[in-house]
């Protein structure tokens, strides 16, 4: 199996942007621009925007995702949202372990694993983020580190559940900085992640896994990145807040 047989997935990560009415307006603007795309199109929006986003996207090819979820099914976790709550709304994707959550909200490889399993157990797709800091890249431990992050995140995930996992390689130094990894750097790390997954699940499962790149991917550089043999899609922050730019990236991923 090669890249042509893997699902290409372009996912927007809106982060803490857009109110529900703004979310509805942006999705209405995006719908005609991404209609007929030959890749999966996902928008991961703030929790409170989910009902408006799901209703706005109904009948279109846009799928809606969340940006986090708690690992416990219910209980005394003030301020948290469970996988079942998201599932009932019609959420299909959940970003897990974004570096902003690891940096600002104490997320660890262990909690990333728990959240990943909660998302998968609820029947949704997990977009699991891994990536190195600039210091770690300069130390030369990138491949080793992201391989370990990936293996820990997938602990206890069955081969069947792996079919609903997307890995997003996001070098921390490239997120929101305008500094993109080169296409070669992105491809090299994505290939290392695939090799790590192959060690645990075998070559066929690894070959079928969608591995995105994220970090300052935009309308200008998307085609070159997405052209790489191991880059199967993108997780897009800033550029996913602009309908036109986002649709250019979606077109670049369409085959």
- Rule CB under 6 A: choose which of 41, 235, 250, 253 binds ligand PGA: 235
Q: Which stretch binds ligand PGA (CB under 6 A): 2-10, 55-63, 119-127, 212-220?
A: 212-220
Nearer to ligand PGA, 100 or 230 (CB): 100
Distance CA 43, CA 45 (A): 6
| Residue 72 among the catalytic residues | no
Q: Does 170 bind ligand PGA (CB under 6 A)?
A: yes
Neighbours of 182 (CB within 10 A): 12
Chain position whose Cβ is nearest to ligand PGA: 237
Q: Rule CB under 6 A: is residue 176 a binding residue for ligand PGA? A: yes
Cα(74)–Cα(129) distance, integer angstroms: 24
We find the least distance from the C-beta atom of residue 170 to ligand PGA, in angstroms, to be 6
Q: Strand 233-236 vs strand 125-130: parallel, antiparallel, or unpaired?
A: unpaired
Asked about 170 being catalytic, the answer comes back as: yes
| Binding of residue 171 to ligand PGA (CB under 6 A) | no
Q: How much of the chain is helix, strand and coil, in % rounded to 5?
A: 50, 15, 35
- Nearer Cβ to ligand PGA, position 107 or 170? 170
Residue selected from 175, 181, 226, 252 as contacting ligand PGA according to rule CB under 6 A: 175
153 binds ligand PGA (CB under 6 A): no
Query: Are the C-beta atoms of residues 226 and 245 closer than 8 Å to each other?
Result: no
* Bridge partners of residue 130, in order along the sequence: 169
- Could you say whether residue 69 binds ligand PGA (CB under 6 A)? no
In the bound state with ligand PGA, the residue whose beta carbon lies nearer, of 150 and 201, is: 150
Rounded Cα gap, residues 158 and 218, in angstroms: 34
Of these residues, 100, 107, 132, 170, which one is catalytic? Answer: 170
Give 197 or 236: the residue with its C-beta nearer to ligand PGA: 236
Does 13 participate in binding ligand PGA (rule CB under 6 A)? Answer: yes
What the block records as the tokens of 203 is 């070559």
73 forms part of the interface with ligand PGA (CB under 6 A): no
Among 10, 57, 119, 236, binds ligand PGA (CB under 6 A): 236
| Strand partners for 234 | 10, 213
Least Cβ distance, residue 221 to ligand PGA (angstroms): 11
Show Cβ contacts of residue 48 under 8 Å, excluding neighbours closer than 6 positions: 20
Name residues whose C-beta falls within 8 Å of residue 235's C-beta, 6 or more positions apart in sequence: 11, 13, 95, 127, 129, 168, 170, 212, 213, 214, 217
Pick from 52, 201, 237, 250: which binds ligand PGA (CB under 6 A)?
237
Chain Cα centroid distance, residue 125:
10
Beta strands 233-236 and 40-44, pairing class: unpaired
Binding site for ligand PGA (CB under 6 A): 13, 170, 175-176, 214-217, 235-239
**Residues recognised as catalytic:** 98, 170
């Amino acid at each position: 199996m090669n890249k042509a047989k893997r699902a290409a997935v372009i996912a927007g990560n809106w982060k803490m942007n857009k109110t529900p009415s703004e979310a509805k307006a942006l999705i209405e603007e995006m719908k005609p621009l991404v209609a007929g795309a030959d890749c999966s199109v996902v928008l991961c929006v703030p929790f409170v925007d989910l009902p408006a986003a799901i209703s706005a996207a109904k009948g279109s090819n846009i799928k809606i995702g969340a940006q986090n979820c708690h690992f416990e099914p219910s209980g005394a976790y003030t301020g948290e949202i469970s996988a079942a709550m998201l599932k009932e709304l019609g959420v299909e994707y959940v970003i897990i372990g974004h570096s902003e959550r690891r940096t600002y909200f104490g997320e660890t490889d262990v909690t990333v694993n728990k959240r990943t399993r909660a998302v998968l157990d609820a029947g949704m797709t997990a977009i699991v983020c891994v990536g190195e800091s600039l210091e770690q890249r300069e130390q030369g431990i990138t491949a080793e580190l992201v391989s370990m992050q990936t293996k820990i995140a997938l602990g206890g995930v069955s081969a069947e559940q792996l079919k609903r996992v997307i890995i997003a390689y996001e070098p921390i130094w490239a997120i929101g900085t305008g500094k993109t990894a080169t296409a070669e750097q992105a491809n090299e790390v994505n290939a290392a992640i695939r090799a790590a997954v192959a060690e645990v699940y075998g070559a066929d499962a690894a070959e079928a896994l969608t591995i995105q790149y994220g970090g300052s991917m935009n309308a200008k550089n998307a085609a070159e990145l997405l052209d790489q043999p191991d880059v199967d899609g993108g997780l897009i922050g800033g550029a996913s807040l602009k309908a036109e730019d986002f649709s250019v990236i979606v077109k670049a991923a369409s085959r």
